[in-house]
């Protein structure tokens, strides 16, 4: 079941595209965190999604937010994807899908495109500094984009 607004965010302890550890609790010390789950690097919709956020990155930073992307890709694939697209925020590898599952953003085992049985759904969460979810959106259709205006709105409301 997907997390919803008001729920406590599960901690995230993953490695990023530079194989450095990332902790949600540590990041929250600097302000709210935008967590974007995406199905796979180098796919057209994921590239569009993450470049949309990358192009507006200053707006997120101006609101004091840390942005991270999470997929089940390896950190090495994520590093290349980040480099090719010039993304200004870390991409985290949830290779086993445990964080995706904890957020309700993992396809069930019966969803197996190309034989994959663990893949993140496209989802967006805003986690406030106190660790509660301020915005939650989990998309069952991987071809859709999160509502980035709503994400920014949640950040603005959290800052007020």
| CATH dotted code for 13-159 | 3.40.30.10
Catalytic residues: 46
Is the CB of residue 28 less than 8 Å from the CB of residue 125? no
User: Domain spans of the chain?
Assistant: 13-159
CA 129 to chain centre: 16
* Model confidence pLDDT, tens digit, residues 65-99: 999 999 999 999 999 999 999 999 999 999 888 99
Is the CB of residue 135 less than 8 Å from the CB of residue 150? yes
Q: Could you tell me the pTM of the whole model?
A: 0.92
> Residue 93 corresponds to which tokens in the numbers above?
């590898």
Is the CB of residue 133 less than 8 Å from the CB of residue 127? yes
């Amino acid at each position: 079941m997907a997390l919803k607004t008001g729920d406590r965010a599960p901690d995230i302890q993953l490695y990023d595209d530079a194989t450095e550890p990332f902790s949600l609790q540590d990041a929250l010390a600097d302000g709210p965190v935008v967590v974007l789950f995406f199905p796979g690097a180098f796919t057209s919709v994921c590239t569009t999604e993450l470049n949309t956020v990358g192009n507006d990155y200053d707006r997120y930073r101006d609101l004091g937010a840390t942005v991270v992307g999470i997929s089940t890709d390896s950190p090495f694939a994520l590093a290349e994807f980040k480099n090719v697209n010039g993304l200004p925020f870390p991409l985290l590898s949830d290779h086993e899908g445990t964080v995706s599952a904890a957020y309700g953003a993992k396809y069930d085992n019966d969803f197996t495109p190309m034989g994959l049985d663990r893949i993140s759904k496209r989802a967006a969460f805003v986690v406030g500094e106190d660790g509660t979810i301020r915005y939650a959106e989990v998309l069952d259709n991987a071809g859709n984009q999160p509502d980035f205006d709503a994400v920014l709105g949640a950040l603005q409301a959290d800052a007020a």
